[in-house]
Amino acid sequence: MPKTITLLGSTGSIGTQSLDVARMHGYRIFGLAANSRVEILQKQIEEFHPEYVAVVDPAACEKLDAALAGTANAPKLLKGPEGLRTLAAMDGPDVVLNAVVGIAGLPASLAAIESGHDLALANKESLVTGGHLVTDAVKKYGVKLLPVDSEHSAIFQCLQGAGGNQPVRLLLTASGGPFRTWTREQMQNATRAQALKHPNWSMGAKITIDSASMFNKALEIIEAHWLFDMPPEKIQVVVHPQSIVHSAVEFADGAVLAQLGVPDMRVPIAYAMTYPRRIPTGSKPLDLFSIGTLTFEPGDPVRFPALRLAGECLNAGGAACTILNGANEMAVAAFLRDEIPFGAISRIVEGTLEACGAMPADTLEDIFHADLEARRVAKETAEKLK
User: 260 - beta bridge partners?
Assistant: 245
User: 250 - beta bridge partners?
Assistant: 169, 256
Give the range of 5-13, 278-286, 317-325, 372-380 binding ligand NDP by CB under 6 A: 5-13
Q: Residue 207's binding partner, choosing from Mg ion, ligand NDP, none, with beta-carbon cut-off 5 to 8 A by kind?
A: ligand NDP
Phi, psi of 28, deg, nearest 5: -90, 140
CB 245 → ligand NDP: shortest distance, Å? Answer: 16
CB 101 → ligand NDP: shortest distance, Å? Answer: 4
Cα(94)–Cα(136) distance, integer angstroms = 21
Return the number of the residue (10 or 346) whose C-beta is nearest ligand NDP. Answer: 10
Return the number of the residue (92 or 204) whose C-beta is nearest Mg ion. Answer: 204
User: From the CA atom positions of the chain, what is the Rg in Å?
Assistant: 20
Nearest to 218 by CA among 117, 118, 345: 345
Q: Residue 227's binding partner, choosing from ligand NDP, Mg ion, none, with beta-carbon cut-off 5 to 8 A by kind?
A: none
Q: According to CB under 6 A, which one of 99, 143, 187, 269 is a site residue for ligand NDP? A: 99
Q: According to CB under 5 A, which one of 51, 118, 125, 149 is a site residue for Mg ion? A: 149
Kindly state whether residue 207 participates in binding ligand NDP, applying the rule CB under 6 A.
Answer: yes
Cα(151)–Cα(239) distance, integer angstroms = 12
CB 357 → ligand NDP: shortest distance, Å? Answer: 27
Within 6-65, which residues bind ligand NDP (CB under 6 A)? 9-15, 34-37, 56
Q: Residue 204's binding partner, choosing from Mg ion, ligand NDP, none, with beta-carbon cut-off 5 to 8 A by kind?
A: ligand NDP
Kindly state whether residue 84 participates in binding ligand NDP, applying the rule CB under 6 A.
Answer: yes
Kindly state whether residue 201 participates in binding ligand NDP, applying the rule CB under 6 A.
Answer: yes
DSSP calls for 259-310 = EE--S-THHHHHHHHHTT------PPPP-HHHH-----EE--TTT-THHHHH
> Do 356 and 309 touch, CB atoms closer than 8 A?
no
Q: Residue 350's binding partner, choosing from Mg ion, ligand NDP, none, with beta-carbon cut-off 5 to 8 A by kind?
A: none
CB 134 → Mg ion: shortest distance, Å? Answer: 17
CB 210 → ligand NDP: shortest distance, Å? Answer: 7
Nearest to 120 by CA among 141, 160, 149: 149
> Do 234 and 276 touch, CB atoms closer than 8 A?
no
Angle 187-190-193 from CA coordinates, rounded to 5°: 140
Kindly state whether residue 265 participates in binding ligand NDP, applying the rule CB under 6 A.
Answer: yes
Cα(348)–Cα(335) distance, integer angstroms = 11
Within 143-162, which residues bind ligand NDP (CB under 6 A)? 149
Return the number of the residue (109 or 150) whose C-beta is nearest Mg ion. Answer: 150
**H-only helix segments in the chain:** 13-25, 38-48, 58-68, 80-89, 106-114, 124-141, 150-159, 184-188, 192-195, 205-213, 215-228, 266-274, 288-291, 306-316, 320-336, 344-356, 364-385
Q: According to CB under 6 A, which one of 199, 204, 232, 301 is a site residue for ligand NDP? A: 204
Q: Residue numbers of the site for ligand NDP (CB under 6 A)? A: 9-15, 34-37, 56, 84, 99-102, 104, 122-125, 149, 201, 203-204, 206-207, 265
Residues lying near Mg ion in the complex (CB under 5 A) are found at 149-151
